[in-house]
Structure 1
Amino acid sequence: MPSHHSNGAAKASLGQLRYIPISYDSDSPDSSARALILALRPEWSSPKSNIEFTPFKDGITNTLLKAVNRKEGLSEDEIDQEAVLLRAYGHGTDVLIDRHRETQNHELLMNHGLAPELLARFDNGMIYRYIRGTATQPADLRIPAIYLAVARRLAQWHATVPCIYESRAQKNGTNGIVNGSHEITIENAAPGKPFPNVWSVMQKWIFALPTETETQRARQTLLQEELTKLIEELSQRPGLGDNGLVFAHCDLLSGNVIIEPRGSTSANREDGHKTEVSFIDYEYATPSPAAFDLANHFAEWGGFDCDYNALPTRTQRVEFIREYIRTYFSLVPNKLDGKGEETEAQKLLAEVDVFRGVPGFYWGIWALIQATISHIDFDYAEYAEIRLGEYWGWREATKCVADSTPRELSLREKRWAQLD
């Protein structure tokens, strides 16, 4: 599969972002949000201003507020043109997310016309321009016009946005702990792969798991053994992009998919009659196999309720992947004819099938950590068990194929195997 873009100038082109030395306070949401907005937009303090905040409830990690100045005489379109989004990070999530890297991701995507203008960062969040459109719900992801639009936009990310890598602090060693630190183990989680990547992210999270009880320590040991197996089995597989890695979203749930309004002036719109989408929230974006990003998105068709009957059938996955491949190869130097596109589509379909159990492992670890740090009213512990159950179900299904021993497949595995 082709190699088409590099780290290079992308990192060097990222500029300095305005910093506001104020925090959002969930105990005083209106006053702290107002202070942040007025620091950014002091003109909104005029007597004619009428600042309003609208919360968005789709996420289970951060606080997201839309801020508008509803001045008299302005139309809704005019109000939205000046609207901004204030996103405050969830409590304790720095253990999960590299916030400096998130800012880099946003700037990089902005430079490629794939993210709204990033206006400022503050002590525990960032402010960016509001994207006009409608956030999808899980059921919307099953609408062909929408999932084909997602396929096109995701292919555009993977084909045109360069990965940002970091130089390793030390290069002498690919496993173990150096000077009592986990850093080397994390950086070299996937031998030979540039850092960071989705494998190093999972390694970091496993080290962050709670270990206060014997049960917790045993679980960490088990999950470490499983990650080691996953890396051995999957990390060196060939794939799209340099080093088999692309700039991946890694959190493409419905709330992060925005349906653009009709008549949008998207620079990349091919056809005014096609549905087009944008993606938001780039905190988990990292170099990853394209197959993981697709498998993760397909898992999100079931929403937070993990409704496995809503997952895409094989026929739907084929349709999505064909649209993805057609778009991807229209944007890279290695152009293909129809036969070549179909060959690549079948290869990626098989890769996504191989990776289908990894998102459950990824989000299962994440949820175990969230269960100990989050102040949001969500049952992370139960969610962790559900998502890890998807991983174990996949392991059982692969054993069934490997040793030809009949086993009862999990509901998720049955749905994944369904043709139509």
Structure 2
Amino acid sequence: MPVKTNGCVDGNLPHELRDLLVTLASNWGDAIEVGALKVEHLKGAMTNEVYRISWPTEDVETSRNVLVRLYGEGLEVFFNRNEEIQTFEFMSKLGFGPRLLERFSKGRVEEFIHARTLSADDLRDTEISALIAAKVREFHQLDMPGTRDVVLWDRLRTWLSEAKGLCSMEHIKEFCLDEVDDEIKQLQNEFPGIQDIGFCHNDLQYGNIMIDDKTSLLTLIDYEYASYNPVAYDIANHFCEMAANYHTETPHILDYSRYPGLEERHRYIRAYLSYEGHEPNESEIEKLSEEVEKYTLACHIFWGLWGIISAYVNSIDFDYIQYARQRFQQYWLKKPQLLSV
């Protein structure tokens, strides 16, 4: 259900955005009229509306392209938009992601990356998977401004409070929300005080990874949930996303038979731990693998709560409640296998 936005309907742009694009084009030496702007809606975004906007240049055989992101309503429940913008701007300055071109009240204009978004099947390609692992490790090593405190546990508790305040008593009972705070506490106590903490993307689904097929260069996009967290949590989230395919007639349905097996998980973790000539031993791989598996439980609660809240604040054509059911079902199914209880 694309999110409810003050956006482009049938190619009509908000006046503020149209004026901004004409000015931006003029700054690049492109003399255009508003009617020359070509608007293409890009599908697959889960929380925003995303458009490719193009216009002709003096060279009649080429056109200029930018990406316009219109923010969805109600998303302030999940993250602080100002902090997300600061992260995007800093990443842009580092050259790690697309450049920020302009901002306006309802969204922003970004550099259009001439690469393709990965598909669900791409995540299972051994060569692409190794590239993802290396890129994720590079992301985790970024030196970002601000506090380096782990965000995960406080965010889970904040979202739990939001979910309980929004949803019906029927859903509170169905999802056992009165018990979830104890579950979060138990999960937090499962992990040692000393962990590998890095700047995590926190939403490593295939739609947030782009590849240039000519150069094999990867770009991670969409940093709305990015923060410092245990790196094992970020890897766990990536593994969980292998159960999803958001480009089907039932994008909310998860297939956990597609969750990566032990060999595939170890192969990814080996690639992640291989850097600057370092060859990880089996003990390192096994240790991180065990942490990752435990953190899948936190991922299920995280996205389960996201689904519940989204059902009440979003108008996207997506069955958020059914999605949340699957995440919580997986949590209760896997908990006895993964925790020392």
TM-score scaled by length of structure 2: 0.86
The separation in 2 between residues aligned to 1:373 and 1:48, in whole angstroms, is 33
The separation in 2 between residues aligned to 1:133 and 1:248, in whole angstroms, is 22
Number of the residue aligned with 2:161? 207
| Structure 1, gaps ≥5 residues long | 1-23, 166-193, 264-274, 331-335, 404-420
- Equivalent residues of 1:118, 1:127 under 8 A apart: yes
Question: How do 1:54-203 and structure 2 match up within 5 A?
Answer: 54-71=40-57, 73-75=59-61, 78-79=62-63, 82-162=64-144, 164-165=146-147, 195=149, 197-203=151-157
Structure (1/2) with the larger strand percentage: 2
- Equivalent residues of 2:16, 2:104 under 8 A apart: no
Partner letter of residue 354 of structure 1?
Answer: K
The separation in 1 between residues aligned to 2:32 and 2:56, in whole angstroms, is 12
Number of the residue aligned with 1:299? 240
Number of the residue aligned with 2:6? 25
Partner letter of residue 279 of structure 1?
Answer: L
The separation in 2 between residues aligned to 1:253 and 1:90, in whole angstroms, is 19
Aligned residues: 323
Cα deviation, residue 126, structure 1: 1.9
Number of the residue aligned with 1:289? 230
The separation in 2 between residues aligned to 1:288 and 1:45, in whole angstroms, is 46
Partner letter of residue 205 of structure 1?
Answer: W
Cα deviation, residue 67, structure 1: 0.9
- Equivalent residues of 1:54, 1:66 under 8 A apart: yes
Task: Identify which of 260, 263, 270 aligns with 1:322.
Answer: 270
Number of the residue aligned with 1:391? 331
Q: Tell me, what secondary structure is at the counterpart of 2:163? A: coil
1:177-219: per-residue Cα shift (whole Å, max 9, x none)? xxxxxxxxxxxxxxxxx54612222121111114364345554
Cα deviation, residue 153, structure 1: 0.5
- Equivalent residues of 1:152, 1:324 under 8 A apart: yes
- 1:311–1:196 distance in 2 versus 1, CA, 3 Å: closer
Of stretches 343-352 and 85-94 in structure 1, the one that deviates more from structure 2 is 343-352
The separation in 2 between residues aligned to 1:133 and 1:90, in whole angstroms, is 24
The separation in 1 between residues aligned to 2:37 and 2:200, in whole angstroms, is 35
Cα deviation, residue 277, structure 1: 1.2
Number of the residue aligned with 1:12? none
TM-score scaled by length of structure 1: 0.71
Q: Does 1:250 align with 2:207?
A: no
Q: State which structure, 1 or 2, has the greater radius of gyration over its C-alpha atoms.
A: 1
Q: Tell me, what secondary structure is at the counterpart of 2:141? A: helix
The separation in 1 between residues aligned to 2:336 and 2:282, in whole angstroms, is 30
- Equivalent residues of 1:146, 1:276 under 8 A apart: no
